[in-house]
A and B are shown apart, each in its own frame.
Chain A
């Protein structure tokens, strides 16, 4: 005690972490500690000797301000009871150095001081402890404002569900969403649950129960609402479960979004896609039928023709149409109609060539060596026509009637984005024989091959050693 006996007790007052001011029962300021002065931006000499509301005049723009009367009433109660009085949370704006008023919220405790030794029961002064709660009050208000703004803008409703009591606290939008009239007084969640579409009811309840079992877990809802007027609304809900700090009850809080317009738009998009698919299927059907009709007409013409040369020309035309037609059969096997899995298609083309050329060279086989490659449809059609010509050419000119042999079709990548098509045969007829071929149909074949190579943006390479080998290099 000896160490402190010489110390000015005002030091303790100044060192207190709470803002304190001392005034007489008639609200004249006697002292203010450093914390108080700092908090209000005043020097002690500006305060001491003044009455409280001289030092802190009410904001003339705050019509609700009856702070002076309230403070006087609280002070009177302290004096009368000799006990501390807590004042209700209140706003009292403080004039700043530049003359403006800053919005301030205060939590205030007025405590009695008995300084007159001769009258120990009499309250001589009041210690006024002030806590500035502006930040938390304004923060809450800002949050609430944000929530309201968000709900207004996006057809959001807010809810708080207490699973124990079944009580559902919510913003009015939720009642509207579920089709409750403004006058209806609905308190339990059950009345809301009853309006969830039967197909979604079970899953929705299960999800709410799940979120309730694990505190802090996320809630995701997606359900339809059956309103009494028969209309259906789509709702999406998000939230989480929390433990109420006061009651220790688990509550589920979250938002519900009216997603009807989104879902209806989705629905109509799905319908549009369905209609488009149907249209594509129909067009596809017609294309295939038309191609079938063309080959049928050519077949009919060929069988009705007596002249062998004319018949051969018609057959050649048929195989060319078939080569194009075969692409169409492969084209709609998967979703993508802009490109074709060329290796799968080549299998079909080979079958078709096997069948149509079987009369030309009985001992000749067609072999395939094709990498899995996807090609744009236009390129695939050109490529298939080229293969048709080259293979037909080999069958016609490379082999004698009794020869055995093979024609190999290969398609592979050749570095970078270059693809090489090669049709090779092991036929015995010499290259000079082939170059002398002058029949009109093979002449057309040669022209077609050249034309198709340039259509592919490619170059042709021909090799006449040990059979005949034609390569077309083209970019992917």
Chain B
């Protein structure tokens, strides 16, 4: 999927990822943080707007972003995900209640690892991360 780009998940032994959560609803953000930490990942921050997300990503350089689409201040998760992908090569998992907000062009530009529909089922996020880790692992390294 993301063939050739610099980002690769850490090897399976050191599975802990640095994850940025981009979500403006604090309950959902804290729940995602809890779930990610339970999986052994490291949440580097919670951003409620696109601007904040880009700022935090520049500072902490996460391996992965979990991105909601409709953010606070009317900003859009797509815009943050695009900058993260284009400028820092950070991939996103989009988690939203309405996937149709993402146009085909945006999707092509962001190249999300996966798009998950809210509400998340228990364990759905964990399985999604496992799946993309497997499919994104370099086969010849």
Contacts and interface: CB of A to CB of B under 8 A. Distances in A.
A344 B118 CA distance: 17
Contacts of A319: 122
Interface residues of B, number: 24
A379 to B, nearest CB: 21
Given A284-B97, A285-B70, A289-B97, A358 B123 contact: yes
A214 B26 CA distance: 71
B97 A292 contact: yes
B69 to A, nearest CB: 9
A291 interface: yes
B31 interface: yes
Interface stretch (A20-28, A93-101, A294-302): A294-302
B86 to A, nearest CB: 26
Interface in A309-361: 318-319, 322, 325-326, 328-329, 348, 351-352, 354-356, 358
A299 B34 contact: yes
Contacts, number: 82
A296 B117 contact: no
Given A351-B124, A356-B123, A288 B27 contact: no
Given A284-B98, A285-B70, A289-B118, A296 B31 contact: yes
B31 A355 contact: no
A325 B119 contact: yes
Nearest to A288: B97
Contacts of B30: 296, 300
A281 interface: yes
A288 B28 CA distance: 12
A362 interface: no
Interface string B8-43: 000000000000000001011011101100100000
Interface string A133-144: 000000000000
Identify the interface centre among A284, A296, A322: most chain B CB within 10 Å of its CB.
Answer: A296
Interface in B71-95: none
A299 B31 contact: yes
Interface residues of A, number: 31
Given A325-B119, A328-B119, A355-B122, A296 B28 contact: yes
Contacts of B98: 281, 284-285, 288
B127 interface: yes
A295 B119 contact: yes
A281 B102 CA distance: 13
Nearest to B127: A355
Given A281-B100, A293-B28, A300-B27, A355 B121 contact: yes
A337 to B, nearest CB: 14
A348 B122 CA distance: 11
B123 A348 contact: no
13 contacts: A284-B98, A285-B98, A295-B120, A296-B31, A299-B31, A300-B30, A322-B121, A322-B122, A325-B121, A329-B117, A355-B124, A355-B126, A356-B121
Interface of A: 281, 284-289, 291-297, 299-300, 303, 318-319, 322, 325-326, 328-329, 348, 351-352, 354-356, 358
